[in-house]
Structure 1
Amino acid sequence: MTKYLLFISIIFSFSKKVVSQTTYLDSIHASKIYYYKNLNNDSLFYYAKRLSESNNICKKLEGANSVAYSYYRLRNFEKSEKTAIQVIKLVDSLSTKENTACLLEKKIVSLNRLFWIRKNQENYNDAYRYLTLMQSTNEKISKISGRHLRYKLTIKSAKAIVNRALKMELAAKNILLSAYNDSKQEVYKTLNDNPLFLEQKANIINSLGNIYMDLSIKNNNPIFIDSASFYYDKAFEVTKLFNPPHEDSEIIYNFRKTEVLIARKDFSKAINLVNNYKNISNGSPYLDREYFQKAICFHNLQESDSAIYYSNKLIKNYKNCETSKLITIYDILSKEYNNINKLDSAYKYSKLTLDQYNLAKKTKDETFNLFYNNNFQQAQELNKTIEKREAKKHRNLIVSFTILLLTFFIITFYLIRKEKEKKKELILIMSKNKPVETEKKEYNIDEALEAKILDEFTHITKNLDFLKSNFSINYIADKLDTNTTYISFVFNKHHEESFKQYCTRLKINYVVEKLKTDKNFRKYSIQAIAEEIGYTNASAFTRAFKKHIGITPSIFLKNIEN
């Protein structure tokens, strides 16, 4: 018996040592992963694989997520996606038994990896689906935990990315400013020493720089370029606080500073900066950026041979190039080949530009619908919650209102009876008097001036003045050196609609006819079509178009194409 107990004791002691040693190795592997995450991808992959073989489920999933990240850095999106999906399936199979914060965190990390894979593939429809799953999963984690707070910022940043992809730059900017302000609140102060939080903060600030770059292009305003440069500098300062340092911080910063130079049309300086990439890359893949940015610079410097050379280098070496980059490169090639009279090649790349444009437009339209429907659904759910919460309050309000209404009727009835005789006398007095007619005000306008105004109405429809963004009744008055009252009087005398309705009708009729007859015009974005007829934003144009035609411009375009 004593020997048996001694044997059990030895086995127990040995098992305890094995578990302790395993825990120790897991800790070592995890620390190595953290250290090599942004320094050396080979070392990262090695320790990530070791940790993914752990017996501890949380450590195992942490290792698998690090493997997915390693593949992602190599742009091997297929293997990265496969690994992330395996993590999610494993978590879902365990969550019914063991719904811990650790498992939920690993699922969010995998969903975030899938979001970035789809974002880089410019498949924003799927990217947004993963984002909504991230949000619902994060709601299951304690609201006061550091993880929950960090993931809230991650989700906000991702939403801004989707908005930016949909050309909703102002919405994206507001989301990012909100995230940046959140990061400075008291509840986040405990995370100030957290390297993951610092990385998030740098990403948010860099994203603000990207948005201001977009706004500078959209509005042709150099002030936005300065703002973009400011935020890029600010983000780079945050990356200097990383410990260990991020291997790619300096090269990424230079990518963005080159984009600023390109936006400022300082193409020669931009090329000099690109030529220095090889000295600061630290092994980071940068050639796709080099080829793309050099193609743009040489195209704008009218150096056709170099522009064509780097464009072809990008297409040849990067089969999975983003759609937006392909559109730019195909457009450059079509223009350059046209300039050197190689019309077959020019036509080929012109067609490829349109094909990629239509593909991107279709994807973004689908994403916009998903984005809208999701927000609409959330709004509906919020409405239902409010209705339930406020139901009792509403009932009390109705009862109170009914009592007040009855009181009002009683007082009113009393006052009516008291004043009855006085009212009868007043009615008799009024019945003896003739009603006074309100005459419509007439203006004594010279016939020649009236004819001149009518001629101008005809003239503006022929020379398309009504398409100008500054066109109004004041425009006509200034042109004829008269006042708007006369213009308005003559217009109302000869038309059965308001001047504004008249102008809107001319604009919509013009755009409908042009969409029917001009195939190139159909390729414009809704914003571009709106600006073509004097609208400053697509929303106002869409409302006016639907009111007059009965359907939105997007549906009208699809009907024409079909």
Structure 2
Amino acid sequence: MMKFKYFILLILFHQLFYSQNNLTDSLKTYSYNDLSQKFYSYNNSNEIRNAKIISKYYLKKAKSEKNQEQISEGYVMMHFNENLPNALKYLDSLQIITKNSDKDYYPARIYLLRGNLYSKFYNVKTALGNYVLTLDHAREKGNKRQIAFAEISIAYLNNYIGKYRDAANTLRHYLYNTDYLDKKDYDNIRVNLVDTYIEINKIDSARILIEEGLLFNSENGNTNQYYGYLLESGFYNLKIKKYHIAIENLIRCKKYFFTTNNIKNQSYTLLFLGQSYVGLKETEKAIETFIQLDSHIQQSKHLFPELREVYPYLINYYKEKNDKEKQLYFIEKFLKIDQILDSQFRYISRELPRRYDKPRLLKEKENIINELKNRKRFFYFSVLVLLLILLIFIFLYRKSKKAEKQHRKIAQDLIYFVNENKIKRETISINETFSDNFQEQGTIEDKTTKTISQDVAQNILKELENFEAKEQFINKGITLGSLAKKIRTNSKYLSEIINTYKGKNFTGYINDLRIDYAIKRLAEDRKFRSYKISSIAEELGYNTEQAFTLAFKKRTGTPLSIYLKEVERIVDSTDYKSKNTLK
């Protein structure tokens, strides 16, 4: 019989060794990225043996290739599934090899991993110290992911000591206001937020998250996450006193979690299950479940504040049964556990405000002061800008008013001279009286040309006088060539005569005649000024309205719109017979 047992063990050992060799051989074809993905996949699904094989191969491969960055990752992988002393050795090696790293997540990452490690082994005091160091180094390097991980971990400690609202605020912020964490991180935050919502009686918010989590993870086959939400569903139904539903969910959780190495969820499954039996007054089942929890605590060393509710229940039960031995046993257990919990609770309660809340509040105070200073600076800057804008506006307004006054004066002078019949129909020589733009026309006697005789010049000037008298300048399409042909001369002579005797080029000559004509006719002809500007421009021989208004402003020094307003105000009134009436 003994030989048979040894034979079976030998076969099992051979199979184990053979399967490990096969897995190791298959890993040779994988890249570092592939190995990393396989490791975390195995690790998250509690396939610890395979995860260990991969982490060992990863570190061995990195060392053989002297790849410092990958050696670092190998140490990280190796520490996950070791006991506390060995895990710390790997993290110490990680700290040594990354001492001079230029990565912004070192050394914060090391302190975060240590914090998580101590938290895993229920040393919350040392865990808190490492999380605070993580936060300090992460802020120094400006690594927002490491800051998030540290603050989320501290939120879990707040949850531990009953500061549920502080924990909920932090978790809610990172769940709904950030986008730089991984999906797995957000899943964990969401599950823990459910727990804090139940503790602070935000029952509807918890229920919504539970329903969403169960549905999503069921549809996507995420077994571990699904049972995490199912555990919270058990807690939720316990809280609202639907004990039967809670028990149904928790029994399913018990079957699942005790096939994994998730000690925390195993503990809370037994706690909620026992409390649900208490709610139904099924004392014997409650005692049986709490005894299972006690046994689990002895093996796992996982202590948590809610145990203070369990041991008094056991003590009172055996007191009523008059079972002194078990009563004494649970009293001693309770006193020991309560002392540890009290020590942890007092330490975390004291150190969290001192090492986390106070620096955070001081930082917030500094930020608020800086923000108020910036607001004040912005206010003064805004006032200064608005003042400058106001001064510029006042300057431009006064300038425009001054210009408008000048324009109105020019328009009034034009209207006055038209109405006083001081502009002769032949030459409309108003330039001397109202605008420096108009140039004095000379006589034939005091003007001479180099190439044209006086007889020819006099003849051309007479033809121009006739052209002006018949107002042929308003005909559309007039050109230097067409006018020269009309008065039986050539373009060169005509251009020279206009330049010499009129003091302007042909285009200026025609424009001035048209504008002078417009000035007079707009002032005298009510029907004409009732036309649209485009119609007036067309009748004056202009191709566009814009060409007309520009020519008017250039000739007179006042905009056409102001001239028309003044015409309406003065000419259409009864009191405009003398200049003294103009205002």
| TM-score (normalizing by structure 2) | 0.51
- Residues 154-233 of structure 1 correspond to what in structure 2 (within 5 A)? 154-183=149-178, 188=179, 191=180, 197-216=182-201, 224-233=202-211
Cα distance, 1:334 vs structure 2: 0.9
**Distance (whole Å) between structure 2 residues aligned to residue 49 and residue 354 of structure 1:** 43
State the match for 1:370 in structure 2.
351
Cα distance, 1:333 vs structure 2: 1.0
With over 3 angstroms needed to count, the CA separation of the structure-2 counterparts of 1:100 and 1:81, relative to structure 1, is same
From 287, 293, 296, the counterpart of 1:308: 287
Is the 8 Å Cα contact of residues 79 and 88 (structure 2) preserved in structure 1? yes
**Distance (whole Å) between structure 2 residues aligned to residue 345 and residue 80 of structure 1:** 38
Which string of whole-angstrom CA distances, capped at 9 and with x for unpartnered residues, describes residues 340-386 of structure 1? 23245335424543443343233222222222222434555787899
Is the 8 Å Cα contact of residues 125 and 367 (structure 1) preserved in structure 2? yes
With over 3 angstroms needed to count, the CA separation of the structure-2 counterparts of 1:81 and 1:215, relative to structure 1, is farther
Is the 8 Å Cα contact of residues 65 and 83 (structure 1) preserved in structure 2? yes
Which string of whole-angstrom CA distances, capped at 9 and with x for unpartnered residues, describes residues 289-331 of structure 1? 4443333233333333333333222322442121425433322
Which string of whole-angstrom CA distances, capped at 9 and with x for unpartnered residues, describes residues 262-284 of structure 1? 22223333222233236655942
**Distance (whole Å) between structure 2 residues aligned to residue 111 and residue 322 of structure 1:** 23
Say yes or no: does 1:60 pair with 2:71: yes
**Distance (whole Å) between structure 2 residues aligned to residue 58 and residue 214 of structure 1:** 43
- Residues 246-395 of structure 1 correspond to what in structure 2 (within 5 A)? 246-277=222-253, 280=256, 283-285=259-261, 287-319=266-298, 320-374=301-355, 375-377=357-359
Which string of whole-angstrom CA distances, capped at 9 and with x for unpartnered residues, describes residues 32-89 of structure 1? 2243332332222211121122132222221222222334xxxx45544443344234
Structure 1 counterpart of 2:68, one-letter code = I
Is the 8 Å Cα contact of residues 81 and 113 (structure 1) preserved in structure 2? no
With over 3 angstroms needed to count, the CA separation of the structure-2 counterparts of 1:328 and 1:270, relative to structure 1, is same
State the match for 2:48 in structure 1.
41
**Distance (whole Å) between structure 2 residues aligned to residue 371 and residue 271 of structure 1:** 35
**Distance (whole Å) between structure 2 residues aligned to residue 32 and residue 301 of structure 1:** 45
**Distance (whole Å) between structure 2 residues aligned to residue 28 and residue 170 of structure 1:** 41
Q: Which segments of 5 or more consecutive residues in structure 2 lack a partner in the other structure?
A: 1-26, 377-583
With over 3 angstroms needed to count, the CA separation of the structure-2 counterparts of 1:173 and 1:274, relative to structure 1, is closer
Is the 8 Å Cα contact of residues 84 and 111 (structure 1) preserved in structure 2? no
Which string of whole-angstrom CA distances, capped at 9 and with x for unpartnered residues, describes residues 109-128 of structure 1? 44333323433455433222
Which string of whole-angstrom CA distances, capped at 9 and with x for unpartnered residues, describes residues 494-525 of structure 1? xxxxxxxxxxxxxxxxxxxxxxxxxxxxxxxx
**Distance (whole Å) between structure 1 residues aligned to residue 40 and residue 49 of structure 2:** 13
| TM-score (normalizing by structure 1) | 0.52
Structure 2 counterpart of 1:200, one-letter code = D
**Distance (whole Å) between structure 1 residues aligned to residue 186 and residue 147 of structure 2:** 12
Specify the SS of the correspondent of 2:192: helix
**Distance (whole Å) between structure 2 residues aligned to residue 279 and residue 358 of structure 1:** 32
Which string of whole-angstrom CA distances, capped at 9 and with x for unpartnered residues, describes residues 86-119 of structure 1? 423443xx32xx3334xx35x5444333323433
State the match for 1:100 in structure 2.
103
**Distance (whole Å) between structure 2 residues aligned to residue 297 and residue 164 of structure 1:** 22
Is the 8 Å Cα contact of residues 198 and 206 (structure 2) preserved in structure 1? yes
Is the 8 Å Cα contact of residues 38 and 246 (structure 1) preserved in structure 2? no
With over 3 angstroms needed to count, the CA separation of the structure-2 counterparts of 1:229 and 1:82, relative to structure 1, is farther
**Distance (whole Å) between structure 1 residues aligned to residue 256 and residue 117 of structure 2:** 25
State the match for 1:535 in structure 2.
none
Tell me how many residue pairs correspond in the alignment: 341
Is the 8 Å Cα contact of residues 138 and 144 (structure 2) preserved in structure 1? no
Q: CA RMSD in A?
A: 3.8
Structure 1 counterpart of 2:36, one-letter code = A
Specify the SS of the correspondent of 1:294: helix
Is the 8 Å Cα contact of residues 250 and 269 (structure 2) preserved in structure 1? yes
Specify the SS of the correspondent of 2:230: helix
State the match for 2:550 in structure 1.
none
**Distance (whole Å) between structure 1 residues aligned to residue 325 and residue 367 of structure 2:** 62
Say yes or no: does 1:51 pair with 2:58: yes
Specify the SS of the correspondent of 1:37: helix
With over 3 angstroms needed to count, the CA separation of the structure-2 counterparts of 1:46 and 1:341, relative to structure 1, is same
Cα distance, 1:157 vs structure 2: 1.5
Cα distance, 1:337 vs structure 2: 1.2
**Distance (whole Å) between structure 2 residues aligned to residue 66 and residue 121 of structure 1:** 17
**Distance (whole Å) between structure 2 residues aligned to residue 26 and residue 136 of structure 1:** 31
Identical positions, percent: 14
Is the 8 Å Cα contact of residues 248 and 284 (structure 1) preserved in structure 2? no
Is the 8 Å Cα contact of residues 115 and 130 (structure 2) preserved in structure 1? yes
Specify the SS of the correspondent of 2:81: helix
Is the 8 Å Cα contact of residues 111 and 134 (structure 1) preserved in structure 2? yes
Is the 8 Å Cα contact of residues 160 and 305 (structure 2) preserved in structure 1? no
**Distance (whole Å) between structure 2 residues aligned to residue 41 and residue 246 of structure 1:** 18
**Distance (whole Å) between structure 2 residues aligned to residue 278 and residue 390 of structure 1:** 54
